Structure 1
Amino acid sequence: MARISLTPRRSLLFRATEWYSRRMYGKVLDPARALAHNPRVLWTDLRFEQSLAKWKSLDPGLKTLAVMASAASIGCSWCMDFGYWESRQRGMDVRKLQDVPTWRDSDAYAPLERDVMEYAEAMTANPPQVEDELAKRLLTTLGEAAFVELTAMVAVENLRSRMNTALGLTSQGFKDHCEIPARGRSTAD
């Protein structure tokens, strides 16, 4: 249960955020509802997320795996739920998304993907535990611009996941909207 009311004052900024959120995601995102209690924080977050969407040096699939591995390490169910849905909307392999929390035991990932998730977990540890050899491998393979973007995205996901977890935000049911119904059952069941 959320530690803060998800019914903030209906300012013009929040109403615009609600409209956009419903249009893009089918519902109002709980983090926006929580942040709307402080319009400056909400406005800064919205501008920040728009800026992040313009970063294009890192392969989107690798970015997704890094973000989700970080969210899984922190235990942010909201981020995992939304991340799964958002990545499915972009056509990412279901198995890769489902196996993120147990990626070390899965054969779904290529070596580079494994390095990215290991890096995300190492950065998310407190204190960070990034090893020079791993960083060097990633830097060599990805190049400087993509390596910096990877590092920044993991840091950003730490911000999101830690904030959502501290505010008590949990899954909003996004993942349920992209699951394939069991064979032989209608969606009306």
Structure 2
Amino acid sequence: MASPGAGRLKMPRLPLVSRRAVTDPLVAHMYDRKFPGRDPATEPGQTASGAPGNFEAVFAHSPDVLEHLVRGFHLKQTRARKLPLHYMELAIARIGWASSCRWMFSEHIKILRGLGYTEGALADLPDWQASDAFTATERAVLAYADCFALDHGRVPDRLFARLRTAFSDEQIVELTYVAGMFLANAAMIRALRLEHDDYDERVREMPSPPEYRFVDAEPAPLPKRG
């Protein structure tokens, strides 16, 4: 079966900013870090993790927005966080899955692998509710992530009480901010068709025989039972 979007050039919905057009120092820093020695607009390549590498090159159209995004990523990653990184990454990966953001799910599964999660646990993440691979605290984090991605932030009191048992108030604020930030990122990634999320809409009318026409008529009677 062909993959979604197969047969057309995979490009985001906005053009990539050429390195030659970059004047902002933070954008230049990000280009040097993500695209060392090349111009992403004219020399396509892959990031270290295998992604197309166009996220920064599209958001570079607005250096202020790119800076806001990058500082959010830095806030999540810095050692100053009180919440252990693996809990944040677990929430992010789950949000990627639940919001159908292929790139987010793929990138953060790789991070979880690097943090020591087993292949069995990673394979169970899509249906974590039926898995015994996660601790009670991890399950609370995953459920909290689902509340963001699937229920618009509606969180049951009993679930929040579990979080308060496991984490400090500061840690809960960090988890909440990271979950909300990455949910927004997932929506932007999909809207702009960035990285691994450049594929055609899969929910569409499928072809039928040319002679098919719907007829609004009384249905034939069903046979009587027994």
Matched, 1:3 2:27: no
Residues 19 and 98 from structure 1, CA distance in 2 versus in 1: closer, same or farther, beyond 3 angstroms?
Answer: farther
Q: Which has the larger radius of gyration?
A: 2
Partner of 1:178: none
Partner of 2:92: 67
Cα contact 2:92–2:105 (8 A) shared by 1: no
Partner of 1:187: none
Matched, 1:82 2:107: yes
Name the SS for the 2:17 alignment partner.
coil
Cα contact 1:9–1:36 (8 A) shared by 2: no
Q: Distance in 2 between matches of 1:62 and 1:9?
A: 36
Q: Distance in 1 between matches of 2:126 and 2:180?
A: 18
Question: One-letter code of the match for 1:134?
Answer: L
Which of the pair is proportionally richer in helix? 1
Residues 166 and 156 from structure 1, CA distance in 2 versus in 1: closer, same or farther, beyond 3 angstroms?
Answer: same
Q: Distance in 2 between matches of 1:110 and 1:143?
A: 18
Matched, 1:134 2:134: no
CA RMSD of aligned residues (A): 2.2
Q: Distance in 2 between matches of 1:3 and 1:18?
A: 20
Matched, 1:39 2:63: yes
Q: Distance in 1 between matches of 2:84 and 2:61?
A: 35
Long gaps (5+) in structure 2: 1-9, 37-46, 198-226
Cα contact 1:69–1:101 (8 A) shared by 2: yes
Name the SS for the 2:152 alignment partner.
coil
1:45 CA displacement: 1.8
Name the count of aligned residue pairs.
170
Which structure ranks higher in relative contact order (CA pairs < 8 Å, sequence separation ≥ 6)?
1
Name the SS for the 2:174 alignment partner.
helix
CA offset digits 1:28-66 (Å, max 9, x no partner): 732112201222211222223222322421122211111
* Among candidates 146, 161, 166, match of residue 171 of structure 2: 146
Partner of 1:180: none
CA offset digits 1:58-90 (Å, max 9, x no partner): 122211111111111111001011112233333
**Deviant stretches of 4+, over 4 Å:** none
Q: Distance in 2 between matches of 1:36 and 1:84?
A: 26
Cα contact 2:89–2:111 (8 A) shared by 1: no
Name the SS for the 1:92 alignment partner.
coil
Residues 126 and 112 from structure 1, CA distance in 2 versus in 1: closer, same or farther, beyond 3 angstroms?
Answer: closer
TM-score by length of 2: 0.67
Question: One-letter code of the match for 1:48?
Answer: G
Cα contact 2:86–2:115 (8 A) shared by 1: no
Q: Distance in 2 between matches of 1:125 and 1:75?
A: 11
Partner of 1:186: none
Residues 157 and 111 from structure 1, CA distance in 2 versus in 1: closer, same or farther, beyond 3 angstroms?
Answer: same
